[in-house]
Amino acid sequence: MTSLASVNGRYRMFRSFIESIDEDAPFHFSAKDNLTSSAFETCAGSRVLEGYRPAFDAAPISRLSDIGGQLLGKTNMDEFGFGTFSANSAYGIPLNPFDTERACGGSSGGAACAAAVLDGHVALGVSTGGSISCPASFCGVFGITPTYGRVSRYGLIDYANSLDKPGILSARAADLSRYLPVISGRDPRDPTSCMQPDLVLTGRKLRSVAVPETALEGLSRDVESAFRTAIGTLEGMGVEVETVDMPTLRYAMPAYYILATSEASTNLARYGGMRYGPQDGDLALRFDDYFTDFRSRYFGDEAKRRILLGTFTRMVGFRDRYYTKALQVREVVINDYRRVLDDHDAVLAPTMPFVAPRFDDISRMSALDSYKADYLTVPANLAGMPHLSVPCGYDGGGMPIGMQLVADHWCEDVLLSAALDWEKGFDVRRPEVME
């Protein structure tokens, strides 16, 4: 077993980790640091929660622990999940194991890094707008984001309640099939999980996929080339591929950011320097000033930006134009997916329009540039539909490229089968791990 301290010194995937690994444990796993854990501090990448030691484990952690898994540590992430590159983390920015001058993707960047670097590792991630698929693509691993409500959110530190979805990343496709059923299921502590049909793995094969025309726009040359080659491989596997028009996908990105920031701005109202996290405020301050002082000192730049955006889009006079319209657009996007999925098993597109960017390029991106980078992952997340990112190629420098399959609500079965079949025919590369 690789030394965690040594490997973490190199790649910074962990916020915190155990000192002693149980070599006899049936498997080892990590959890993104927005899943509460009684064994470690849980900060969700934010200084607002520094020092917070939860009294209980999040449901997905409990379920993996109950079958003997050993929790190795908590993985670094963008503050509350606010980011595409895990560069908005207060506790360490994970480095891409294929090139440490590049990002792991976000917001489950530490999770993807751990899955890529550690042998036989199962990483719990959480996706709100693409936070499992994006880092899976950048780090060359498999990532499954299940249907909204499939996995209990009990113990998840909310970003956006109607969008958050715990899932799994691993270098092995079989781990997704093995462990997704373990963490899935109804949980009365999360009502959104209680209407789900059972997750039954029948081995349903991928027969037909639809590629939206817009999925081929705005791609880097390497991503487009790898994706076209992957389509050829799929056809060689007997999968029918059809190009389709999905006109509503272009509205998904703004609708997603409006809903996500609206919900985030209310969720983050609870952080006021009392009960958890730093409690070093001056109690002599006026009531409102106390909270304002604390929040202004401890929230990071992107958190403030999203609080401002979400507060604005819910304000009287703007609510109908932004928030209500975004809710309507979500319904329209769901119906667009349903129309296409009536005739196909999945919708296919590249996961990200480019390979993992360098940190110096990221520092030159505006907030909007960063939001726009999510245009391929956001629609399925807005619609709450299950999706899978698989490695599908490498650019000239050896950086991984991913493609994403989206299935109808509760149809994870076909995605998990597709992952297994794809892995049989595609040579997944592992990074050369430096300690």
By the 8 A CB rule, do 9 and 25 touch?
Answer: no
Cβ of 355: how many Cβ atoms within 10 Å?
Answer: 28
Per-residue CA distances from 214 to 31, 202, 271 (Å): 34, 32, 40
188 binds another protein (CB under 8 A): yes
Binder among 195, 236, 317, 342 for another protein (CB under 8 A): 195
325 binds another protein (CB under 8 A): yes
217 binds another protein (CB under 8 A): no
By the 8 A CB rule, do 5 and 435 touch?
Answer: no
Site string for another protein, 167-186 (x = CB under 8 A): --------------------
Indicate if 107 belongs to the active site: yes
By the 8 A CB rule, do 350 and 396 touch?
Answer: no
The sign of the torsion formed by the CA atoms of 177, 179, 180, 185 equals: positive
102 binds another protein (CB under 8 A): no
354 binds another protein (CB under 8 A): no
Site for another protein in 262-321 (CB under 8 A): 265, 269, 272, 274-276, 279, 281, 283-293, 295-296, 299, 304-305, 307-309, 311-312, 315, 321
Binding residues with another protein: total (CB under 8 A): 74
327 binds another protein (CB under 8 A): yes
Indicate if 131 belongs to the active site: yes
Q: Indicate the residue type of 188.
A: P
Q: How far is the CB of 41 from another protein (least distance, A)?
A: 10
By the 8 A CB rule, do 344 and 210 touch?
Answer: yes
Q: Which stretch binds another protein (CB under 8 A): 122-130, 234-242, 329-337, 356-364?
A: 329-337
Site for another protein in 136-155 (CB under 8 A): 147-149
Instruction: Say how far apart CA 331 and CA 329 lie, in whole Å.
Output: 5
Per-residue CA distances from 115 to 121, 176, 401 (Å): 5, 12, 16
Our CB check for another protein shows the closer of 126 and 309 to be 309
Q: Indicate the residue type of 386.
A: P
From 46, 131, 152, 184, active-site residue: 131
DSSP per position, 56-92: S--HHHHHHHHTT-EEEEEE--SGGG--SSS-S-SS-
Site string for another protein, 39-68 (x = CB under 8 A): ------------xxx-xx------------
Site for another protein in 218-257 (CB under 8 A): 248, 250-251, 254-255, 257
Indicate if 165 belongs to the active site: no
Annotated catalytic residues are 32, 107, 131
